[in-house]
Amino acid sequence: MDPMTTDEFEELKADVQRWYWWGVPTLFRSPWNEDPAECDIALVGVPHSSGNGSTERDQHLGPRALRHVSGSMRRPHGVFDFNPWEACRVHDIGDVPLPEAMDNELCVARTEAFYRRIDQAGAFPVSIGGDHSITGPILKAIGGPGAKLSDGRPVALVHFDAHRDSYTHMPHWLGAKRSAAHWAAYTVEEGSVDGHRSTQIGIRGHGMKTVHGGVDDVLGYRIVPASEFHALGVESTVALLRERIGDAPVYITFDFDALDSSIAPGAANLECGSTGMTMDEATGVLRGLCGLNVIGGDVVCLIPTKDNPNNMTAMAAAALMIDMVALIADRIGNR
């Protein structure tokens, strides 16, 4: 045969790109472009695991696992009935560079600086971690005074988790100060999160301190334990969230242990003693935020080395991220 022409190559490449095993792996087969100014939605990996030293350390492998499995996910959103990748520019901008990986405080600072670059470029980040300490610096970068994406306002946080991560009674977590156990407190105290517009959903298990439903009188969070969530159901939970959020910018963080352990076995802090959310419940709540000013989101605490052979937890992460991307793309289209 004659040598392949450039036109032939581009035509064949467009046809084969739908298959996850072809090409260089990126998040959801998105174009690779490290410049956040070139996209509307920035897909980011945060390979960090020194903010939660009490569990397995392999959470830094999450971004690599997502690049492997997310290529098999279909881009058109079956519920919203549009393709976010066609509606706006969605790029994989790579991973936060963390050469001092075992130094949590320095990694947190570098992560915040990386996301300030994204914020100033005006791109909306959707990230895969990494342990839950990554959410603190992301919120510091895109929420509160000086942040572009939130117009300088503190964000309303929608926090899915089995644990509150607001341990103000502890000065550090095995030496980590801005840790996976502290971020939900210091982001409120430092003005990046408006606790009185924020909600923590799915709290369960036997914690290190007593957890009650209702409102945290210090930080302002509305706490919806798993037992209350199951009693309320998806529709009432969404109504509660939307009433609290109002017109505030919204950030979503999803810790895998909010899901039932049978669904997400590759999570960092499994809570097997009580029932967590199903995928239908989790995505139902996420989709109920459609139309709000969602400015970013993350999925954290994936441990690929603890996942089952089918990569079920990683695939669940990809599904949650697609919903976050769709929420932001829908909002961009309606601005």
What is the phi/psi pair of residue 169, to 5°?
Answer: -80, -5
Q: Pairing state of beta strands 214-215 and 222-225?
A: antiparallel
How many Å apart are CA 168 and CA 152, to the nearest integer?
25
Contact 185, 131 (CB under 8 A): no
Q: How many CB atoms lie within 10 A of CB 221?
A: 26
Instruction: Specify the pLDDT at position 49.
Output: 84
How many Å apart are CA 170 and CA 140, to the nearest integer?
21
* pLDDT (tens digit per residue) in 48-65: 986 686 667 799 999 999
For the entire predicted model, the pTM comes to: 0.94
Instruction: Specify the pLDDT at position 308.
Output: 92
How many Å apart are CA 189 and CA 265, to the nearest integer?
33
Is the confidence at residue 17, as pLDDT, over 90?
Answer: no
**Cα 299 → chain centroid:** 3
Which two tokens mark 110? 């570098």
Between 205 and 25, name the one with better pLDDT. Answer: 25
Kindly indicate the confidence band of residue 20, based on its pLDDT and cuts at 50, 70 and 90: confident
Which domains does the chain carry? 29-333 (3.40.800.10)
Is the confidence at residue 282, as pLDDT, over 80?
Answer: yes
